[in-house]
Amino acid sequence: MNPIVLEFAKARVRGSERLRLKVYTDTTGNPTIGWGHKLLPDETLTEIGSLCAERMLNVDFDKHVAGALTHPCWSDDLAVGRQAALIDIAYNMGPDWWREFTITTEHMKNGRWDAAGDTLLVSKYANQVRQRAVDNATMLRTGEFCWT
């Protein structure tokens, strides 16, 4: 995997998620902490330190990168912006997000990147994360890194 893509994608996660050291409720009602870590039923944390948040980010990021690699359109030859978008969406929505986004994924499989970006923007996901979805749609369309 391209280390520049990983570095960019992790920076996007940091920029989109914001570090929160106390438990908060995310836009879908889940208890969350750190860099967007959704608390699991057996995690009873209410507050963490920044080192713990970094460890959680690294574990979660690696898990979601592995999930992005399972996307049917993933390829090491895929444009770097598209790779970064797939990783960021996986981090935000879960490693299997694409299984529920069948139309978007079908557009990607057929190289219709503009249409993939369009369908991403009319989703519940886009309503929840707004600018993050716009940036990811732009990266899907252009294949280039985007940061606003």
Q: What is the pLDDT of residues 117-137, one digit of tens each?
A: 999 999 999 999 999 999 999
Nearest CA-CA partner of 22 in 64, 57, 61, 53: 53
Mean pLDDT of 3-14: 94
CATH of the domain at 128: 1.10.530.40
Within a domain: residue 35?
yes
In a domain, 110, yes or no: yes
Assess if residue 147 is contained within a domain.
no
pLDDT value, residue 146? 86
Domains contained in the chain, number: 1
Q: Quote the Cα angle for 142-26-66, to 5°.
A: 50
Token representation of residue 40: 């699991």
Mean local confidence (pLDDT), 105-116: 97
**Mean of pLDDT values over 128-148:** 93
Q: Is residue 148 part of a domain?
A: no
Q: Residue 54 domain-assigned?
A: yes
Instruction: Report pLDDT digits (tens) over 44-62.
Output: 999 999 999 999 999 999 9
pLDDT reading at 105 higher than 80: yes
Domain enclosing residue 67, as ranges: 3-142
In this prediction the pTM is 0.92
